Structure 1
Amino acid sequence: MNHHTAQRVFEHQRIWRVTPDALSEACLLLFAAINDDHPQVDHIIGVANGGIAPARVLAGRLGVKARTLQARHYADDRLYREGTGNVTVEFDAFRRTLGRRKLDGTILLVDDICGSGATLHKLGNVLAPVLGPHARLITATLCLNTGAKTRPDYSVWTVSDWVSFPWEKRPDQPITNLLIPEQVICHV
């Protein structure tokens, strides 16, 4: 599986929009599914920028502090960008917050979307040196693009077009709201 050539699928039929209500329900569903499978989550890491909001909601529900890890796959915010496979991670600042400690137990990595899978793949590798011997890394995203090669452990919506989130500037093109979700998809 080559993560550098994975391509997002864009049907160019619509721009999906995650509404605040849909986001809230998605986070509740993710919490329930993750809590059922992993009653003890010890650490939550939100991938900046898109994973910060859902990570904070999940952290509040799970009673864990959310950490942030900066990762960037794109240099700009234009619509319908293809992934390059080149993910830059600002790991030094994250590592400094840990000091000499290692993350152990169950670590939940949260992002807004798994487009090609390159970000989740890269972060799994980048985090490896700070994971303790009994650490288990699990991943959750709000959306999963049908072109992704690496899949999160949990996702809510499967999409084949561009997605706009509440924390992003609203596109100046017509949008279609994603339906309020009813279930989480477990990919493990």
Structure 2
Amino acid sequence: MTNSSHAGKRVFAQCVPFAPTHYQCFDAARLIAESVVGIDPDVTCVIGIASGGIKPARLMAAYLKVPFHTVTARHNTSNALFQQATGDVEVVLPDTLPECLSGTVLLVDDIAGTGATFAAVSDALNDRLDHSAEIMTAALFRNRGCVQNPDRWAWNVDDWVVFPWETPHHGLTRPVPTLKWVSAR
């Protein structure tokens, strides 16, 4: 287990949370996976950040036909809406994660709020990367306040996102716009 602190501030218009459908999230995961086909070095595994990154990462790994792994990272103190990130990220690498990672390791989460989670998990994985390995980050959503952008993302948002795999939100929600392309850093 490692702790890491990376500052940043999420942007919330505090209107109504976005609520993507399962289909929209799966389609975005597929498009992100398609966007990394043929990169050099090749993607050799996909790591989903628990818990929000697991479903999109599993889909990307299946699409790319590479092994799927998970890590745990947490910094939100609850699941309450419009919560600012603490910047203190606790990372737990499971015993099942390979000791040596090579090629491009695709690290996936559902949202990049500030970039702190990706930075903390990347730091925690550094000792497992061989000399030529690279980490590439991908998120379905990127909050406009994100200071450390992922390498790939589908939507930019300025409000909270309620994912279909989370506890259902009983208030008003709004749809996400139609996905037209994957953004890349």
TM-score by length of 2: 0.93
Distance 1:4 1:65 in 2: 29
Q: What's the counterpart of residue 76 of structure 1? A: 78
Find the aligned partners of 1:175 and 1:73 in 2 and give their Cα distance.
24
Give the Cα separation in 1 of the matches to 2:51 and 2:146: 19
Aligned CA distance change for structure 1 residues 18 and 39 (closer, same or farther; 3 Å): farther
Shift of 1:39: 7.4
**CA drift at 1:170:** 1.8
Map of 1:139 onto structure 2: 137
* Residue 180 of structure 2 corresponds to residue 182 of structure 1: yes
- Corresponding letter in the other structure for 1:42: T
State which of 47, 50, 53 in structure 1 corresponds to 2:49: 47
Residues 47, 71 of structure 1: 8 Å contact kept: yes
CA distance in 1, matches of 2:42, 2:127: 22
Say which is worse superposed, 116-125 or 30-39, in terms of deviation: 30-39
How far apart are 1:38 and its partner, in Å? 4.8
Q: Could you tell me how far 1:66 is from its partner in structure 2?
A: 0.8
8 Å contact 1:139–1:152 — kept in the other structure? yes
* 1:37, distance to aligned residue in structure 2 (A): 3.3
Amino acid paired to 1:56: R
Matches within 5 A, 1:39-188: 40-91=42-93, 94=94, 96-98=95-97, 101-187=99-185
Structure 1 stretches of 4+ with a deviation exceeding 4 A read: none
* Deviations 1:37-71 (CA, angstroms, capped at 9, x unpaired): 35721011000000000000001010012100011
For residue 180 of structure 1, report the CA deviation from its aligned partner.
3.1
Structure 1 residues 105, 5: CA separation in 2 closer, same or farther (over 3 Å shift)?
closer
- What is the identity, as a one-letter code, of the residue corresponding to 1:57? L
**What percentage of aligned pairs have identical amino acids?**
36
Counterpart contact for 1:106–1:136, Cα < 8 Å: yes
Are 1:21 and 1:180, in contact at CA under 8 Å, matched by a contact in 2?
Answer: no
Structure 1 alignment gaps of length 5 or more: none
Q: TM-score, normalised by structure 1?
A: 0.91
CA distance in 2: counterparts of 1:121 and 1:8, whole angstroms: 15
Task: Give aligned pairs, total.
Answer: 181
**Aligned residue type for 2:29:** C
* Coordinate RMSD, CA, aligned: 1.4
Q: Secondary structure at the match of 1:176?
A: coil
